[in-house]
Amino acid sequence: MDFELPRDVKMLQGLVRKFVEQELIPIEMQTGDGEETDPALLGPLQEKVKALGLWLLDVPKEHGGLGLGLLARCVIYEEVCKSKAMPFRQNELFGPTVGPILYHCNDEQKERFLYPVIRGEIKIAFAQTEPDSGADPGSMRTRAVRDGDHYILNGSKRFITAAGTSDYCQVVCVTDPEKRQRGGISVLVVDMKSPGVQLVRQWPTMMGDSPWEIAFDNVRVPVANRIGEEGEGFALAQGWLTVGRVRGHGARCVGIATRANEMAMDYARQRVTFGQPLSERQAIQFMIADSAIETQAARLMVYNTAWKYDQGQDTRNDSYMTKIFCAEMANRVVDRAIQIHGGVGLTKELPLEYWYRQLRSIRITEGVPEVLRWRLARNLIRARG
């Protein structure tokens, strides 16, 4: 069993680590808590990324991207997330955000939706969560009823990132209320300028972003805007979330925890109390050791899950474990780092308080640990026969 990263992935890791240390960490405290990076900062960074040959690293080769596997992307994301310079939810450092569901477009749809997104000409948000349907997407109420060559869409979505600046929205909706998640949920690409689409309000959060609530009132959506076959939407959405739990919640948490513990160690050596550096106190040493142990365990879990995904293996249960463990681990590590820093750890002079707020949201978004534990246990028990 080889625990070494492939040579090409290690080279990417070194390249991105150097970029983060030289370009992102020095400017991270200039960035705010907003949903998007200041163009004056993002533009020059993107040009440097292009020069390094890392542009469109999330995009498959057949669509003009690098086509990197999930393991390579996790390694890169771990490094990038050691800095707070990029927004937590709309990181366009390596190119426009492309919702993976768009890769399931047919050829005609790719010309209208996928390629314009990749070129940065349009933006498309993703809408699944509803006021009464978050952790249980199968109970969603947003309904699309077939009417000839159109669907009539009614319902609402809440906590939708970038809805206010997007041209279209991938709306996950019920097309067969009897089947629901077992073949009754579809994905429609809705023009945000369509009659009946209303941006109801924004929901300012403790994380600094303000996702939207959207209402759909008898919105006519062409059948030609449905991605995949009718009833395939639930599987498409869950496939996206599975990858997100490994990279967005797993690798990102590992990167944050790594940097937070490094900051804790550096400060502990500098800060002197009662005649000794904090680093000489056993209580502090135990906190640092525990953080290092948990971070390493999480890293191995992320890499293993990503590797299995790249091999085409079923990683549903692995993704649940990764999301649960990494999210809770990073919360503990950053909490310890703040404790070691004392009062200064609470200030906005350091990225610790920012990570503390963002990480708290990870334990809610895209699958709460309580629900994932329930699903994981159910799957494991069923597998016992």
Which residues, listed in sequence order, are joined to residue 168 by a DSSP beta bridge? 124, 191
Instruction: Yes or no: say if 326 and 250 are a contact pair by the CB < 8 Å rule.
Output: yes
User: Helix 316-341 to helix 233-244 angle, to the nearest 10 degrees?
Assistant: 40
Asked whether the whole model's pTM tops 0.85, one would answer yes
Confirm if 243 and 309 have CB atoms less than 8 A apart: yes
Catalytic-residue membership of 366: yes
Find out whether 256 and 81 touch, Cβ atoms under 8 Å. Answer: yes
Residue written as token pair 């191995």 = 300
How far does the chain reach from its first CA to its final CA, in angstroms? 29
What are the mean pLDDT values of the chain's consecutive 10-residue runs (385 residues total)?
Answer: 90 96 94 77 93 92 93 96 90 89 94 96 94 80 97 97 95 94 94 98 93 97 97 86 90 98 98 96 98 98 97 95 97 98 96 96 90 96 92
Here the tokens at position 264 are 């804790």
Backbone phi, psi, residue 83, to 5°:
-125, 150
* Structure token digits, residue 100: 């993976």
DSSP SS3 for 348: coil
Q: How many CB atoms lie within 10 A of CB 129?
A: 20
Which residue in the list 78, 79, 130, 366 is annotated as catalytic?
Answer: 366
**Structure confidence at residue 366 (pLDDT):** 83
Query: E strands of the chain, at which residues?
Result: 124-127, 143-147, 150-160, 168-174, 185-191, 197-202, 212-222, 226-227, 272-273, 276-277
Residue in this structure with the two tokens 């771990």, named with its chain if needed: 78
Q: Are 32 and 40 in contact (CB under 8 A)?
A: no
Closest CA to 153 of 124, 122, 186: 186
Would you give the distance in Å from CA 221 to the centre of its chain? 28
Reduce the DSSP state of residue 173 to 3 states and report it: strand
Amino acid code (one letter) for 95: G
Which domains occur in the chain, in start order? 7-97 (1.10.540.10), 124-227 (2.40.110.10), 235-383 (1.20.140.10)
Q: Which residues 6+ apart lie within 8 Å of 201 measured at CB? A: 212, 213
| SS3 label, residue 310 | helix
Instruction: With beta carbons less than 8 A apart as the criterion, state whether 341 and 264 touch.
Output: yes
